[in-house]
A and B are shown apart, each in its own frame.
Chain A
Amino acid sequence: MTKPSTDHAEASPTKKFFVSMLTRDISLADAILDLVDNCLDGALRLANGGDVDYAQHWVKIKLSEELFSIEDNCGGIPREVAKNYAFKMGRAPDDDRDSESETIGMYGVGMKRAIFKMGRDALVRTRHGDDTFEVPISSDWLDDPGWAPLPINEPNESNEVLDTPGTTIQVRELYGGVSRHFRNEAFENEVRAAIAEHFTMFLQRGLTVELNGVGVEPVHVEVLVSNRPDGPAPYIFQKTIDGVLVSITVGLNTSRPASSDDEESGFDEKRSSRTAGWTVLCNDRAVIVGDKSRLTGWGDGIPMYHDQFIVITGIIEFRATDAEKLPVTTTKRALDTSSNVWLESLVKMKEGMRVWITYTNQWKNHPRADQTEHWKDSRPLSLEQAVETVGKRAETKRSGDRIEFNPKKAKVLPEPPGKKPSSRRIVFSRPIEEVRLVSRMFFDTDDEKPGAVGEKCFELILAKAKKQEG
Chain B
Amino acid sequence: MASGSSLPYRLRPNKAVDRELFLALLTRLSPSLGLEQYRYIGLGGPFLEDFRLVHARLGIGRMTSVEAEEQTHRRQLFNRPIASIECVHDTLEDYLDGEYFDGPVIIWFDYTDPGSLSTQIERFALTVGAVPTGSVLRLTLNANPSSLGKPDPHELSVEADDEASEDRAVKPTIQEWRLARFRERLGPLFPSGLSADGMTRKTYGQSILHALKLAVDKEVLSHPDRQVVWTLATHYSDGQPMVTATLVVCAADDKTITQLAEGWEFYSTTEQPHRLDLPALSTLERLTMESNEDARGCLGFELPKSDMGVDPFDVFEKFYRIYPHFSRVHL
Residues of chain A touching chain B, judged by Cβ–Cβ distance below 8 Å, are 177, 180-181, 184-187, 189-190, 192-193, 196, 214, 216-217, 254-256, 262-264, 267-268, 270-274, 310, 369, 372, 376-379, 432-433, 445-447
Contacts and interface: CB of A to CB of B under 8 A. Distances in A.
B291 interface: no
Contacts of B193: 192, 196, 214, 216-217
* B1, B152, B181, B217 — most chain A CB neighbours (10 Å): B217
Given A264-B118, A272-B184, A185 B1 contact: no
20 contacts: A177-B224, A186-B215, A186-B216, A189-B191, A193-B192, A214-B193, A216-B192, A255-B184, A264-B116, A264-B118, A268-B119, A271-B185, A271-B187, A272-B184, A273-B180, A273-B184, A274-B190, A378-B170, A433-B71, A447-B1
Interface of B: 1, 69-71, 115-116, 118-119, 149, 152, 154-155, 169-170, 172, 180-181, 183-185, 187-188, 190-193, 213-218, 220-221, 224
B116 A196 contact: no
Nearest to B70: A433
Given A196-B193, A270-B188, 4 more contacts: A186-B221, A214-B193, A263-B115, A273-B180
B191 A255 contact: no
A266 B70 CA distance: 25
B213 A256 contact: no
B118 A271 contact: yes
A369 B152 contact: yes
A270 B119 CA distance: 10
B217 A185 contact: yes
Interface centre among B118, B191, B193, B213 (most CB of A within 10 A): B193
A377 B167 CA distance: 10
Given A256-B184, A271-B118, A184 B69 contact: no
Contacts of A196: 192-193
A116 B245 CA distance: 39
A184 B192 contact: no
A273 B152 CA distance: 20
B276 to A, nearest CB: 25
A274 B187 contact: yes
A189 B218 CA distance: 10
Given A184-B220, A270-B118, A432-B69, A192 B192 contact: yes
Contact of B221 (A184, A263, A372, A376): A184
A262 B117 CA distance: 12
B70 A186 contact: no
A100 B192 CA distance: 35
Contacts of B149: 256
Nearest to B117: A264
A264 B155 CA distance: 25
B170 A377 contact: yes
A189 B115 contact: no
